[in-house]
């Protein structure tokens, strides 16, 4: 059990300043990022009637906060720098619908000295970040469980943010309608998941997700069933050419994502190798765009343009598991 932090005069002063700032800017909530539990009743008294979200890197730190009826967030990546911990906490708060995507929030945290609350920030979420929520996924209207989609998208965002061993990694996941999808795929050589039992290919298992991150460095796409099983990896995708309109500058991986979702009911999730951006495709179109966590995140508009004249059935395969293009992303 983590040792509780004494609710010092300095902490009380910071919380009261946070409450005044929240009043001044009509903030929707106050985010309290902490490394240790504290005297939750005194924290509640200090912030008054404001909604309070408490974020920490473990359930132990949050023990007792439920009695004060705070919303809580457990960080999935606790070893990140403070700025990225704040970002993660805010993203999860939006995903769990504790916060609206465009809400102003006042954050209280240890910015300079570990384990000492010494910083206060006003964050306007509409200017800095967006988040794929369960509601967003349901709007896709696809025949894929939202929990499976959420798992795949979160994994794709992690790949886009972290890369592997300091190097950027691009990848493609095709989720749902896997039997029809496999009809448009062929192995690019060695398939690392072939022969493993289903229980060892479920994305709900953290070890499997880590394994997928390693395999993502190899060429080709992942095919994932609606239940979240990795059916195949390192696949070259070659769906029939279709009349498509996607953003200028997107390469073979994204064209493959658009074509396969036009020919099947699957959803494709593509990670750009150049900048880590994640795009979700459905019915041949980009329906969601998510920027990597390491930078400010917000939804971005995209321009639709007709496919280039060179795009057609005779395009040659590339190392990315999709037809050739000038930009393999």
CATH of residue 163? 3.40.1700.10
Domain shared by 121 and 168, yes or no = no
* C-alpha–C-alpha distance, residues 189 and 272, integer Å: 23
Is the model's pLDDT at 318 over the cut of 50?
no
On whether the CB atoms of residues 298 and 126 are closer than 8 A, the answer is: yes
Average pLDDT of 307-311? Answer: 49
0.75 surpassed by pTM: no
Q: Report the mean per-residue pLDDT for the chain.
A: 78
Q: DSSP letter at 91?
A: H
Instruction: Among 95, 129, 163, give the residue marking a domain's end.
Output: 129
Higher pLDDT, 162 or 231: 231
Domain shared by 144 and 118, yes or no = no
Domain shared by 109 and 149, yes or no = no
Which has the minimum average pLDDT: 120-124, 184-188, 299-303? 299-303
Instruction: List, for residues 89-144, the tens digit of each pLDDT value.
Output: 887 787 677 887 678 899 999 888 877 888 999 988 754 444 445 555 666 655 67
Q: Strands 221-224 and 171-175, how do they pair?
A: parallel
On whether the CB atoms of residues 12 and 42 are closer than 8 A, the answer is: yes
Cα atoms in the Cβ-side hemisphere of radius 13 Å centred on 199 = 0
On whether the CB atoms of residues 107 and 120 are closer than 8 A, the answer is: yes
Which two structure tokens, joined as six digits, stand for 63?
Answer: 């023990």
- Give the domain range for residue 259: 134-290
Domain shared by 183 and 280, yes or no = yes
């Amino acid at each position: 059990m983590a040792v509780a932090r004494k609710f010092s005069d300095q902490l009380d002063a910071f919380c009261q300043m946070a409450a005044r700032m929240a009043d001044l800017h009509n903030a929707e909530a106050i985010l309290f990022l902490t490394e240790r539990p504290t005297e939750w009743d005194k924290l509640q008294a200090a912030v008054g009637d404001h909604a309070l979200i408490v974020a920490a890197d473990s359930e132990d730190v949050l023990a007792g906060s439920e009695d004060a009826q705070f919303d809580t967030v457990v960080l999935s990546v606790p070893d990140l720098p403070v700025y990225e911990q704040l970002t993660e906490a805010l993203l999860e708060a939006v995903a769990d619908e504790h916060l609206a995507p465009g809400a102003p929030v006042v954050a209280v945290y240890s910015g300079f000295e570990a384990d000492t609350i010494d910083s206060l920030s006003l964050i306007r979420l509409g200017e800095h970040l967006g988040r794929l929520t369960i509601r967003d996924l349901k709007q896709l209207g696809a025949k894929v469980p939202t929990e499976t989609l959420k798992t795949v998208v979160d994994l794709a965002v992690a790949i886009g943010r972290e890369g592997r061993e300091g190097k950027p990694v691009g990848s493609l996941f095709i989720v749902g309608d896997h039997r029809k999808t496999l009809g448009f795929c062929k192995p690019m050589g060695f398939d690392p998941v072939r022969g493993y039992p289903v229980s060892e290919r479920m994305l709900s298992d953290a070890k499997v997700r880590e394994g997928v991150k390693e395999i993502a460095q190899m060429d080709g796409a992942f095919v994932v069933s609606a239940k979240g099983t990795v059916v195949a990896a390192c696949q070259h995708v070659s769906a029939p050419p279709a009349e498509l309109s996607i953003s200028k500058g997107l390469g073979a991986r994204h064209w493959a994502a658009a074509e396969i979702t036009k020919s099947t009911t699957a959803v494709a999730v593509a990670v750009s190798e150049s900048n880590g951006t994640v795009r979700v495709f459905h019915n041949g179109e980009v329906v969601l765009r998510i920027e990597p966590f390491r930078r400010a995140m917000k939804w971005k508009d995209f321009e639709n343009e007709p496919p280039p004249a060179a795009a057609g059935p005779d395009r040659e395969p590339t190392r990315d598991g999709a037809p050739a293009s000038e930009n393999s992303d």
